[in-house]
Amino acid sequence: MLRAMTTERGTRRRAPAGAAVLREDVTDAIRAAVFEELAAVGFARMSIEGIARRAGVGKTAVYRRWKSKLALVLDLVAAVAAQGMPAPATGSLYGDVRAVLELAAYALRHPVASQVIPDLLVEAARNPEISEAIKAALLDQQQGVAAVVVREAVARGELPEGSDPDRALDLIVGPLYWRLVVVRGELPQGYLDDLAASAVAALRHPG
């Protein structure tokens, strides 16, 4: 997950004559340091100085790439969104739901993500720019996956026509997010299997 978060996006361009060339290894080190710093102290207390110190670079190296810590965090969130979450293709509704839960559980239990995501959601309530970035990174891509899962299930005859992807997303990921992010509880053995079966049953009987 961290590797995906710290991957450069887009194609390389030749630097204009006389322009400073930004070393990719330094950029990657800064990006990794941002997630570590967010997990350690949160967005409100995070500073360019702390990021630079953790990355083993000077503040100038950070400012040459991003003008502020907000710009840096927004760029990283956008990079996560660009990576995307693949839609499962197991051939059954239960299999697809179970696969979504497996991926979501892995992401939410990641030691860095488990600290960073809740903190950024708190900041999103205060900052519209962070709110939009989080929406693109977390909600929009998951809505896209849920739409594919529902569409394929309808095509196979496993769900009725008109099934709501947003409701599917709530039923599939909502309980898992509550358990891992809000309650911060462990997942008992077989929990994801039971949750997948419950979500499928609820989707098949919306009334």
Q: How confident is the model at residue 101 (pLDDT cuts 50, 70, 90)?
A: very high
Query: Would you say 121 and 38 are in contact if contact means Cβ atoms under 8 Å apart?
Result: no
End-to-end CA distance of the chain: 38
Does the pLDDT of residue 82 top 80, yes or no?
no
Does the pLDDT of residue 11 top 60, yes or no?
no
Q: How confident is the model at residue 147 (pLDDT cuts 50, 70, 90)?
A: very high
| Closest among 179, 178, 181, 172 to 114, alpha carbons compared | 181
Give me the mean pLDDT over the 34-50 stretch.
88
Query: Would you say 37 and 81 are in contact if contact means Cβ atoms under 8 Å apart?
Result: no
Taking only the tens place, the pLDDT of each residue in 129-142 is: 888 877 777 777 78
CA distance 99 to 6: 24
Query: Would you say 120 and 5 are in contact if contact means Cβ atoms under 8 Å apart?
Result: no
Taking only the tens place, the pLDDT of each residue in 105-126 is: 887 887 667 777 777 888 888 8
Does the pLDDT of residue 196 top 90, yes or no?
yes
What is the model's pLDDT at position 49?
Answer: 93
CB atoms within 10 A of CB 74: 19
